[in-house]
Amino acid sequence: MAGYAIEMHGITKTFGSVVANKGVDLNVKSGEILALLGENGSGKTTLMNMLSGIYKPDSGSIYINGEAVSIDSPEDAKRLGIGMVHQHFKLVDVFSAADNIWMGKEKSGLVLKKKRYDEIKDITKRFGFDLDPTKKVYNMSVSEKQTLEIVKVLYYGAKIIILDEPTAVLTVQEIEKLFNVLRAMKAEGHAIIIITHKLNEVMEISDRVAIMRKGEYITTVNTSETSEQALTEWMVGHKVNLNIDRPVVEKTRPLLEVRNLTINNDEGATAIDNVSFYIRGGEILGVAGIAGCGQKELCEAIAGLRPIVSGQMIHKGDNIVGLPPKTILEKGISMSFIPEDRLGMGLAPSMSITDNMLLKNYRMGKSPLIDRKRGRKDALQVIEDLSVVTPSTETPVRRLSGGNVQKVLLGREIKAGPNVIITAYPVRGLDINSSYTIYNILNKQKLDGVGVLFVGEDLDVMMALCDKILVLCHGKVMGVVHAHKTTKEELGLMMTGSLDLSEKYADKPAGLAKDTFFEDENKKEG
Amino acid sequence: MNGFFSKMPRLPFHIVKRENCPLWMKCCFYLAAIVIALLAGALVLWAIDVDPWDYYYQMFTMGAVGNKRAYKIYMNYIKEFLPLALTSVALSLAFKMKFWNIGGEGQFIMGAVSAAFVAFKLGPVAPAWVTLIVMCITAMVIAGIYGLIAGILKVRFGTNETLMTLMLNYIALYFLTFIGETKADWNFFLQEKSARPVFESFKDIVIFPSIPLGEKFELNVCFILTLMVGAIIFVYLKYTKQGYEISVVGDSPNTAHYAGMKVNRIVLRTVFLSASLVGLAAAFKVGSSGVLSTSITDDVGWTGIIVAWLAQLNTGMIFIVSALICVLQFGSVNAASEFARVDSSFANMLQGLILFLVLAADFFIRFRIARTKKGE
């Protein structure tokens, strides 16, 4: 018994008729990083919420350092030295970093003291964090907010730290920084549980891996004695092919061409700076770049949701600059952007799957009445084609788990039969199985002659899936490379702006198609 | 909050989310809420030495049982019920879009004044049915425009519609008071002969007709019109493309924008529709009573908010809930005449209690309390 920081025995938790956890056993030692692995909806977050006092198990027992405990509230968890960093941050935007930490403190007195900044600075120094205690949360990047959450947990003396998908919204560099912090915490004897979908991260950071499937505990293995393939099979329950196909398709003339495009962001600063590229039918063009370097603005501009400053965009030879979003949709350009909160754009969360299917084509037909029959038919088909797990077509989308939400969104976009798909972060936060489903969907579209713009995060995936990769750095194009010829290092250098391949070939400028439609127009004019 | 709970003794039960509460159970919870509210009210009555049983009997029968003039009571009851039901339906339109239109009072007043204006000016020269139609249309347009002010400010400058509609209520109220208290040559709203400012009645010029049913009971056409509007709005919200747009905008404006909807236009259109229906309710009200008054609204702009929420924005339920609330209000006024000791504002207290407890019942519909099993 001794030696384990946490032991959970036979934990069962049900929500109504749904069994989220069924007889789960889990244990973690001090000075150890345990990765908790499982598909979306396999009950990882529920299990961790029971450790942090948000939920109470229906049955089962929890031991902390060998002692049976009952965790009834987050306060109890705090007292027992358990701290959780949630997927969705729980911070007060208008407070400084220090105040966000300080406000949860009991017996902190009534007066705000200058000392609080120093106290927090001490902690950040000890673990090698990069955090300014006086900075307001609304000025922070996602990675800073996360750091703040971790510091908060440490400040309250947590010995057991749970991180729920901490890497989902971080860049490669930020992840590396986070892992260094985790290693420092481990060296100090903390027990760490990390929930993640990314197998390469599991292999890199964890000592042991616990695997869950559909609410049940499967097994725990030592990381050094396993492989990504084995982990996936445990997680999914059957053999999975981890290779991503890149079918070769005959390419058409450019479907979408963008020339010298400049776009501002919400603050009025330049987000996309003089960018040119083109997408052919039967091609997947990847867009790589550090988070927040104009990807969102680019997607919105193409979909007609954001005005552009200058430049040209033509679709099959027709200008689309300045057209309303509705007209652009009707031309067959579909855009799906999965924001960090996953639900913010593209879906109406309280409405049913049926109603969400109708979102983009509800105007069809002259009748003033809405055609729910068609929506239901579409919903049934998407549910079947993409194996969406849902009680019915009338279930509100927000009740579905993350992966299923994304399948509904992408399913609808494809159902509309677009000829250009703009998709940003389609696998954000998805488990392996769902991610592969999405890759297959995109490949199938490519085979059908659709042009795909894939804004992604995972370079390994992009190099396997995309035909070409456009690299952005601070809104500027660093070059377009062939995915099968490039290396991760080269992409990394381009993303950080140390390597600029945009003028590699003087005779063939990056992003301009040889058989462009622009020439047509020039010829006509000449 | 957590601090508070952690100091409580360990409880042998915990709260669990309930999924798919069956309809009969929902009804039971709501019924229980109402019964508890009435029991609490009975306690108050009992404390001031009034027999609760007698009082409630008087209240819920509205004094109609065994009364020869019961038909009169029913007719008056319907007169109170119609504006409340229609106003609640109108407000629910905006609420569905998460546009917090609490300006029902102001929109109602604007509608009432403009309907009266038409009655005075057009009534003497045009056929009655033309006047009535013009009254309705004018009231709808003026009230709609009055509602649009808050809508335009929100769309254009991002102002808070709750504050705007609230303040516009007072502007309308004092505008009406101004008309009602200013004796002047131009003010045709007041009685010419009276030395004191008293609203002039246009009963003799134009009034909504009633259909005689049975011996003495007459049903005002507004009743049929209100039911029709209710049915139309039900279909509008549930089955039309515009209704769908309202739901999407209410749920996620970002998504609506992304789907190519013109969000601002939808907001303005819906706010106009919501406010103009409040105006229609006002036209029905003045058109059937034939006179303005400073308390013309009967607080329907406020009560309508409660009704819309109690009915969970369901158009059918709004009619049921407003009928019940009206029994409460109308019945308590009636009972107050029998029981001198109990003021008619007892109904307000009861209404508050019921609202509070129904909201509490909502909690039990969404959650249940489960016994915590001890682990081995």
> pLDDT per residue over B327-374, tens digit each?
888 888 878 777 877 777 787 788 888 888 888 888 888 887 777 654
How do strand A451-455 and strand A420-424 relate by DSSP bridges? parallel
SS3 state of residue B240: strand
Sequence-distant (6+) residues with CB within 8 A of A55 are A13, A46, A49
> pLDDT per residue over A52-105, tens digit each?
888 888 888 899 888 888 888 888 888 888 988 887 778 888 888 888 887 777
Q: Which residue's entry shows tokens 């660093």?
A: A478
| Chain A residues with CB-CB distance to B18 below 8 A | 16
Element (H, E) at A12: strand A4-15
Contact between A346 and B19 using a beta-carbon 8 Å cutoff: no
Residue A210: pLDDT band (50, 70, 90) is: very high
Q: Which of B239, B244, B254 sits opposite A345 (nearest CB)?
A: B254
Sequence-distant (6+) residues with CB within 8 A of A250 are A282
Residue A505: pLDDT band (50, 70, 90) is: low
| Percent of chain A clearing pLDDT 70 (strictly above) | 90
DSSP B373: P
How do strand A333-337 and strand A216-222 relate by DSSP bridges? unpaired
> pLDDT per residue over B140-163, tens digit each?
999 999 999 999 999 999 899 999
d(CA A207, CA A225) in angstroms, rounded, equals 10
pLDDT for the residue numbered B100 = 92
Nearest-CA residue of chain B relative to A17?
B19
SS3 state of residue A515: coil
**3-class secondary structure for A205-216?**
HCCEEEEEECCE
Measured in whole angstroms, the distance separating CA A135 from the mean position of its chain's CA atoms is: 26
A207-216, A494-503, B265-274: the lowest-pLDDT one: A494-503
pLDDT for the residue numbered B39 = 92
Q: Which of A62, A68, A345 sits opposite B255 (nearest CB)?
A: A345
d(CA B30, CA B28) in angstroms, rounded, equals 6
B173 pLDDT more than 90: yes
In this prediction, residues B56-79 reach a mean pLDDT of 81
Residue A350: pLDDT band (50, 70, 90) is: confident
Chain A interface test: which of B251, B264, B313, B376 (most A C-beta within 10 Å):
B251
Q: How far is A347 from chain B (nearest CA, A)?
A: 6
Instruction: Describe the crossing of helices A372-385 and A402-415 by its angle, rounded to 10 degrees.
Output: 120
Residue A365: pLDDT band (50, 70, 90) is: confident
In this prediction, residues B30-46 reach a mean pLDDT of 89
Most confident of A9-18, A514-523, B64-73, B175-184: B175-184
pLDDT for the residue numbered B2 = 42
For residue A147, give Cα distances in angstroms to A188, A457, B25.
Answer: 18, 20, 47
User: Which residues, numbered 244 to 283 in chain B, qualify as contacts with chain A under a Cβ-Cβ cut-off of 8 Å?
Assistant: 244, 247-248, 251-252, 254-260
d(CA B159, CA B167) in angstroms, rounded, equals 13
Percentages of chain A per state (helix, strand, coil), in multiples of 5: 35, 25, 40
User: Would you state the structure tokens that stand for residue A317, as one six-digit string?
Assistant: 């030879």
User: B80: how many CB neighbours lie within 10 A of its CB?
Assistant: 19
Residue A227: pLDDT band (50, 70, 90) is: confident
A1 pLDDT more than 50: no
pLDDT for the residue numbered A507 = 58
In this prediction, residues A457-466 reach a mean pLDDT of 85
> pLDDT per residue over A288-347, tens digit each?
887 777 888 888 888 888 888 888 888 888 888 888 888 888 888 877 776 655 666 678
Measured in whole angstroms, the distance separating CA A241 from the mean position of its chain's CA atoms is: 22
B84-93, B125-134, B193-202: the lowest-pLDDT one: B193-202
Q: Which of A56, A329, A335 sits opposite B14 (nearest CB)?
A: A56
Contact between A70 and B10 using a beta-carbon 8 Å cutoff: yes
Contact between A369 and B241 using a beta-carbon 8 Å cutoff: yes
A278 forms beta bridges with A257
pLDDT for the residue numbered B258 = 82
Whether A324 contacts chain B with CB within 8 A? yes
Contact between B258 and A74 using a beta-carbon 8 Å cutoff: no
Chain B interface test: which of A11, A369, A399 (most B C-beta within 10 Å):
A369
| Chain A residues with CB-CB distance to B366 below 8 A | none
DSSP B10: P
Whether B2 contacts chain A with CB within 8 A? yes
Sequence-distant (6+) residues with CB within 8 A of A525 are none
In this prediction, residues B249-270 reach a mean pLDDT of 89
Q: How does A317-343 read in b/e, with b if 16+ C-beta sit within 10 Å?
A: eeebeebebeebbebbbbbbbbeeebb
CATH of B71-371, one of 1.10.3470, 2.60.40, 1.10.150, 1.10.760: 1.10.3470
d(CA B268, CA A205) in angstroms, rounded, equals 54
Chain mean pLDDT for chain A: 82
Q: How does B186-222 read in b/e, with b if 16+ C-beta sit within 10 Å?
A: eeebbeeeeeeeebbebeebbbbeeeeeeeeeeebeb
Residue B115: pLDDT band (50, 70, 90) is: very high
| Percent of chain B clearing pLDDT 90 (strictly above) | 40
Contact between A56 and B375 using a beta-carbon 8 Å cutoff: no
Q: Maximum CA pair distance of chain A?
A: 85
Domain ranges of chain B: 71-371
For residue A129, which of A116, A114, A148 has the smallest C-alpha distance?
A148
Chain B interface test: which of A351, A358, A395, A415 (most B C-beta within 10 Å):
A351
In CATH, what number does A243-332+419-427+449-526 get? 3.40.50.300
Whether A363 contacts chain B with CB within 8 A? yes
B228 pLDDT more than 80: yes
| Chain A residues with CB-CB distance to B241 below 8 A | 362-363, 368-370
Domain ranges of chain A: 4-236, 243-332+419-427+449-526
| Chain B residues with CB-CB distance to A372 below 8 A | 239
Chain mean pLDDT for chain B: 86
pTM of this prediction?
A: 0.77
In CATH, what number does A4-236 get? 3.40.50.300
Contact between B20 and A16 using a beta-carbon 8 Å cutoff: yes
